Each structure stands twice: as C-alpha cells, then as structure tokens.
Amino acid sequence: MRIVLLGAPGAGKGTQCKRIVAKYGVVHLSSGDILRQERAAGTELGKKAQSYMDSGGLVPDNLIVEMMVGAINKASQKGFVLDGFPRTVNQAAELDKLLGRNGKKIDAVLNLEINEQVVVKRMSGRRSCSKCGAVYHIENLKPKTDGICDHDGTKLVQRPDDNPDVVTNRLKTYHQQTRPVVDYYKNNNAVCNINANEDADKVSTLMFKKLDALVLA
Ligand SMILES: [Zn+2]
C-alpha cells in the first residue's frame, strides 16, 4: 500500500504515520528524517542538500525527489507512507512519473484537515530531543520527567520551528505551496479528507476506516 499523508504543520502527521506503520506494516518515509540521515551519513545527496541549507535556501525539488525515490525503492513490499513529501505540485508530479515507470501509483492520499488556532496551540507546546528526535508536548504527551527525554535523558528543547511566530509563517508557506498538492491529488487520485481537530485516537480511527476499505478492495 502506497500512502501519502498530507496536512498542515502540526496536524499530527508524524504521530499518525507511526500508527499506520504499526497497523499495516508499511515503512514510514519522512522527508525531514531522510534528509537528516543523508546529511549525517555524508552521502553525495546529503552534501548537496547541506550546501543549499547552509546558504539559507530551500533544497530544490529534484534533489528531494531523488532522495525520496531512493528511499521508496528500498522500502519493503508492504509499501510506505510518505510524510512531509511531496511538498510541492512539482514534487507530486515528479513522484507520479517515477512511480509510473515501474507500473506503480499512490493508492491513498489522506489529508489531515485542521484549524489554524489548534495548530498554533499544539506546536507551541512541543518539546523535542535534539539527540534522538523524540517529540513530546507539555500538555498532551509529557515525558516521564519534565523537560527530559525518556529515551536518553537529554534535555528537551523547543525547536525554532515550533516558536509561535515561526508556526504562523510555516502555515502561510503551507497554504501557498502545499495546499495546491491536495488539489493536484484531487484531480488524480481519491483524496480522503480527515478531520484532524479531534484527538489523535479519533483521527486514527477515521484514517483506519479508509485504509481498511482499501486493503479489502
Ligand atoms: Zn532523546
């Protein structure tokens, strides 16, 4: 099963991806994680991406697509769920083209729809571990000890990305850049809109209903 999970920053994509992985045995392919891994491993792609980031620019679409398709090709037979990718219509079209060459396509596009005030509240409460990448929330997902990662005891920090002003900016970018991806998939696949203002368990239930129907089809 090849799934794309879309949604504004803070819609809970990471959490829901993990649940999809646990239930259906697909691989979670997060563009952020893969980019970090490529950079950490010092691969050719990682170095190229790093040079764009060092100069304060965005990593270009073709580089991101190459990186993600590499990960897709290594994914298991059970399939994958894409998180944070495709981020632009250009990336989505390129992905379809490359999958199409192998006679494959995206089977499901889940779009987590969320109210912006809910996003700002969720994201400004997030705390992350800079060592292992684990994410917590000061209200909804507390670590066992305040401010400390459960896995490795590292002091948790608020990523610059989760600062309320930055969140507002990221939402703006999302609307300009990624919202058109939803429309792109509306024209090419069946997009399932999921109300993501609810708590994570309700969102999972809605998602699983859609995905179960696909598995049985
Ligand atoms: Zn940690």
Which string of DSSP letters, residue by residue, matches 125-185?
Answer: TEEE-TTT--EEETTTB--SSTTB-TTT-PBPB--GGGSHHHHHHHHHHIIIIIHHHHHHH
pLDDT, position 22: 96
Report how far ligand 1's centroid is from the alpha carbon of 99 (Å).
35
pLDDT tier for residue 6 given thresholds of 50, 70 and 90: very high
What separation, in Å, do the N-terminal and C-terminal C-alpha atoms of the chain show? Answer: 12
Whole-angstrom distance, CA of residue 190 vs CA of residue 201: 23
- Which one is catalytic: 2, 122, 127, 170? 170
User: Model's pTM, two decimal places?
Assistant: 0.81
User: Quick check: 76 pLDDT over 80?
Assistant: no
Helical residues (DSSP H) of the chain, grouped into ranges: 13-24, 31-41, 44-54, 61-74, 89-101, 116-124, 164-173, 179-188, 200-216
Taking only the tens place, the pLDDT of each residue in 137-172 is 998 899 999 999 999 999 999 988 788 888 888 888
- Structure confidence at residue 127 as a pLDDT band (50, 70, 90): very high
Catalytic residue among 2, 13, 122, 127: 13
> Which residues are CB-contacts of 167 (< 8 A; sequence separation ≥ 6)?
9, 10, 119, 120, 123, 124, 161
Is residue 2 annotated as part of the catalytic site, yes or no? no
Residue 75 has pLDDT above 90, yes or no: no
Q: Among candidates 40, 94, 26, which has minimal Cα distance to 64?
A: 94
Catalytic residue among 126, 127, 179, 210: 126
The C-alpha atoms of residue 197 and residue 115 are separated, in whole angstroms, by 7
Query: 20 pLDDT exceeds 90?
Result: yes
Alpha carbon of 154 to ligand 1 centroid (Å): 6
Does residue 159 carry a catalytic annotation?
yes
Which one, of 89, 37, 35, lies nearest residue 66 by Cα?
Answer: 35
Ligand 1 midpoint to CA 144 (Å)? 12
Residue with tokens 């999958």: 99
pLDDT of residue 106: 93
According to the model, what pLDDT value does residue 217 have? 72
* Active-site position among 18, 19, 121, 159: 159
Query: Tokens in use for 93?
Result: 């079209």
Note if 19 is an active site residue: no
100 CA distance to ligand 1 centroid (A)? 39
Whether the predicted pLDDT of 213 surpasses 80: yes
pLDDT of 56 above 80: no
Please tell me the predicted confidence (pLDDT) of residue 43.
93
Between the CA of 162 and the centroid of ligand 1 the distance, in Å, is 17
**What confidence tier does 5 reach under pLDDT thresholds 50, 70, 90?**
very high
Amino acid residing at 11: A
Strand pairing category for 27-30 and 191-195: unpaired
pLDDT at 10: 82
Residue 155 Cα to ligand 1 midpoint, Å, equals 8
Task: Judge whether 71 and 100 are in contact, CB under 8 Å.
Answer: no
Question: Distance between CA 117 and CA 182 in Å, rounded?
Answer: 21
Q: How far is the CA of 159 from the centre of ligand 1 (A)?
A: 14
Residue 202 has pLDDT above 80, yes or no: yes
Q: What is the pLDDT of residue 156?
A: 96
Beta-bridged to residue 155, according to DSSP, are 148
Residue 148's closest CA among 160, 167, 164, 132? Answer: 132
Looking at every residue in the chain, the average pLDDT score rounds to: 90
Q: pLDDT at residue 216 above 80?
A: no
- Known catalytic residue at 127: no
